Structure 1
Amino acid sequence: MAFAAPSLKGRALRLLSQREHSRAELERKLAAHEEEPGTLAQALDELQARGFISEARVVQSVLHQRAARLGSARIRQELQAKGIDAEAVAQAVQSLQGTELERARALWQRRFAEPPTEPRERARQMRFLMTRGFSAEVVARVLREGAQAPDCAD
């Protein structure tokens, strides 16, 4: 006995049950399953009207899951890739600015704990933090403070 393929709304709900998705992400993922033009937009409109699709929840989810390990630049990039509104992205990034240095310091401490002793190691540690979206200014400050940290806490 053959089963009918799930509807666009069913597919969208299955994706949303796994994690928060922006409308743009759902459009990208479900476009191949749209048989009649306009049915995908209609299904997503209905889900959005019922509160199943929420840009604010997507932003909060990304911040909750990724902010401890990523800098503002990477968070901005991920939110933009999800199709989040530019104003919501700017607000989310702004909310992270106050903790940028502490988050970079904590990540560096977990990964390295030892200040670099040679230029090659310093470059490696800088690359590690910068590829995670921390600014050069924050990275330089973390490494400078790490190099000045005492060997033991009193």
Structure 2
Amino acid sequence: MPNPPPSLRQRALALLARREHSRLELQRKLKPHAEEDMELDQLLDDFEQRGWLSDARFAESWAHSRAARYGGARLKAELRTKGVAADAIDAALDPLQGSETERAREVWRRKFGTPPADARERARQLRFLAARGFSMEAIYTVVGGDMDET
């Protein structure tokens, strides 16, 4: 005799046991398994009240795990797509602001390691760091040169 499918609550707990999720993210993953939207909303409300589901905790965890590779702008955009509120995003990213240049320098060192030989290579390095979401101030500090040159 086959086992019955896991309940919505069991599915949610299994997902949260693996890693933190934002409310929107968990809602999207559980929606196909919910019979009613109200049932899902009640479950998520219950999890938030118990402290098992927290957008602020998710934002902090997400930012911490990806900060070594990406800048503040990219992290902010990713957290917005995950449905995290602006105040929770700001609180999660605030501690990272002071290390933006150092993080950009480490990403640049792993990818390039040597200063650009010409303007074309410099532009390539600038674009790479910009695509990673680092601030222009951090990018120009790392790659070198004046911000007004481009």
Q: Report the TM-score, using the length of structure 2 for normalisation.
A: 0.88
For 1:122 and 1:74, the matched residues in 2 are separated by 21
Alignment check: 8 A CA contact 1:9 1:44 kept:
no
What is the match of residue 148 of structure 2? none
For 2:47 and 2:10, the matched residues in 1 are separated by 10
1:132 aligns with 2:137: no
Shift of 1:70: 0.7
For 1:44 and 1:89, the matched residues in 2 are separated by 20
What is the match of residue 76 of structure 1? 76
Shift of 1:118: 1.8
Flag structure 2 segments of 5+ consecutive residues without an equivalent. Answer: 146-150
What is the match of residue 151 of structure 1? none
Aligned positions, number: 145
What is the match of residue 95 of structure 2? 95
Shift of 1:93: 2.8
For 2:86 and 2:5, the matched residues in 1 are separated by 35
Indicate the RMSD between aligned Cα atoms, in angstroms: 1.5
1:22 aligns with 2:22: yes
Alignment check: 8 A CA contact 2:31 2:37 kept:
no
What is the match of residue 150 of structure 1? none
1:108 aligns with 2:125: no
Shift of 1:20: 0.3
3-state SS of 1:104 partner: helix
C-alpha offsets along residues 49-89 of structure 1, whole Å, 9 cap, x if unaligned? 22210222212211221111110001101111111111111
Name the aligned partner's letter for residue 28 of structure 1.
R
Alignment check: 8 A CA contact 2:63 2:93 kept:
no
What is the match of residue 63 of structure 2? 63
Shift of 1:40: 0.6
For 2:12 and 2:88, the matched residues in 1 are separated by 23
Q: Percent identity among equivalent residues?
A: 52
Q: Report the TM-score, using the length of structure 1 for normalisation.
A: 0.86
Shift of 1:107: 1.4
Flag structure 1 segments of 5+ consecutive residues without an equivalent. Answer: 146-154
